[in-house]
Structure 1
Amino acid sequence: MLKDWTLFEKIWLVLFTIVNIYLFFAFEDSLLGLISSLSGMLCVVLVAKGKISNYYFGIIQTGTYAYISFGYSLYGEAMLNGLFYFPAQFVGLYMWSRHRTQTSIQGEDVAVKRLTKKGWMILILIAVVGSILYAELLHVIGGQEVRLDSAAVVLSVLAQILMLKRYAEQWALWIAVNVLSISLWVVTLIKQGGNDMNMVVMWSAFLVNSIYGYYNWIKLSKVQKQEEVHSQ
């Protein structure tokens, strides 16, 4: 299974697993939080590698994370994962399986696309307007940290759509989402208490992985483009 993984990917996965298991015992974190964190890390590493199998772990992570978020009244996160991310895993399995590719980079499964300047402008406009409107909705239903929650949710939805459509620029949005989500959980745990430090560690790991994922997908898109030219 790990024969086509780089040394960085193997070391990162092992270190992250050790940290999560330590937190589980040292701070008596919840078992559900541990499962969500570990499955989430496997999911995002596999996405960074362009592997379709990421969606199997995504199903586990989105379901457990939605339940945990609801318990902390983070309704935006709960709705995002339960109502959008969870079904999106099955959509992703179908869409990615229809766009497999073979490249000289070992282990990559999916063909990568790039976003245009016009696409970026539309994306930014939707993100700003959507974040403002969704924050108002979360405020009405009694959510906590609605501005952070709203921005993280809207960017997450847009990033997931770009991911389903195989755009490398999804990773720029995931970087922003991860920074917002780290802030959201730190503020929430300080204010409410709780034993889910795994969530902070998970999002921190996601941040590192999203930077790596951006690098890897840009590299992959260049290789695919070169191989398309040579095959013509």
Structure 2
Amino acid sequence: MDILAWFDINNTLVNIPIGGGYAMSWIEAVGTVFGLLCIWYASQEKTINYVFGLINVSLFAIIFFQIQLYGILMLQLFFFCANIYGWYAWTRPSSEDGDMLEVRWLNKQKMAFTAAVSVAAIAIMTVFIDPIFFALANISVDVLNTFGADLARPELSPDAFPFWDSVMTVLSIVAQILMTRKYVENWMLWVVINMISVCIYAAQGVYALSIEYAILLFIAANGSRQWMKTAKQNQQSKQHDQAAEVKA
């Protein structure tokens, strides 16, 4: 098989007999597997999740380029950078004492700030999602054309679910940032995102993606459970150390 042909979305690996039939390409199948591995190992607090994450977003960026979804493609570029930062943050001391980043909860101030920014961003994006993504798509095409891509500007239809699409986009960015800092709340956001995704993709007839996000929903729920347990243990350990210092 020609290596370039492997990246073609029309190079079908298997036809899935769901809905009206779904031809899954090699690149989508492999990208999905790496995505599932990324989320699973992140739920286990394993740094290798970022390796799988980088491969996943790179492959999906190629897919979105081919189907001309340039706004989502640019979101993959954000995830690529976030994975690199997360890998760095999880493997470097977070203080001068050499302490590593540990799983914990957001404090009340950070929680309020995160919620306020998220609500505001969702509201703004819901109103302006079409012009924002149309502009991003055209900018992306112009940038790619400077490198000789010779692409025509895409003709885009209005967003089918502007509010829910905005919720998924904003919360995905927030959840990814929280994950890089090991905040438990990231998994709760992924649970919400995946629940919405299952419903939206099923409503649009993209049943393979709906099933994939149902699997991700299970992994995110397990991640919430695991990280809540770890955060509790970390908090108890910190309280024990502080008590020991007082006695000393």
TM-score bucket (shorter structure): 0.7 to 0.9
Q: Distance between the aligned counterparts of 2:70 and 2:159, measured in 1?
A: 8
Asked whether the 8 Å contact 1:74–1:144 carries over to 2, the reply is no
Q: Distance between the aligned counterparts of 2:167 and 2:111, measured in 1?
A: 17
5+ long unaligned stretches in structure 2: 1-12, 17-21, 95-99, 135-155
Q: Equivalent residues in 2 for 1:33-112 (5 A)?
A: 33-69=28-64, 75-81=70-76, 83-99=77-93, 111-112=102-103
Structure 1 SS opposite 2:24: coil
- Following TM superposition, the consecutive aligned residue runs of length 4 or more in structure 1 with deviations greater than 6 angstroms are none
Closer/same/farther in 2, CA of residues 75 and 129 from structure 1, 3 Å limit = farther
Match of 1:32 in 2: 27
Task: Give a deviation string over 1:44-101, Cα, whole Å, max 9, x none.
Answer: 01110111110000011112223434555655533222x210111111110110159x
Q: Which has the larger radius of gyration?
A: 2
Asked whether the 8 Å contact 1:75–1:138 carries over to 2, the reply is no
TM-score normalised by L of structure 1 = 0.74
User: Is the counterpart of residue 175 in structure 1 residue 168 in structure 2?
Assistant: no
Greater RCO (CA < 8 Å, at least 6 residues apart): 1
Task: Give a deviation string over 1:97-144, Cα, whole Å, max 9, x none.
Answer: 0159xxxxxxxx951121123322222221121012223443121453
Q: Distance between the aligned counterparts of 1:172 and 1:76, measured in 2?
A: 25
Task: Give a deviation string over 1:201-220, Cα, whole Å, max 9, x none.
Answer: 22111111111111100101
Closer/same/farther in 2, CA of residues 184 and 79 from structure 1, 3 Å limit = farther
Task: Give a deviation string over 1:147-199, Cα, whole Å, max 9, x none.
Answer: 222110100111111111110111111111112222332334x3xxxxx6442
Richer in helix (by share): 1
5+ long unaligned stretches in structure 1: 1-22, 101-108, 191-195
RMSD: 2.5
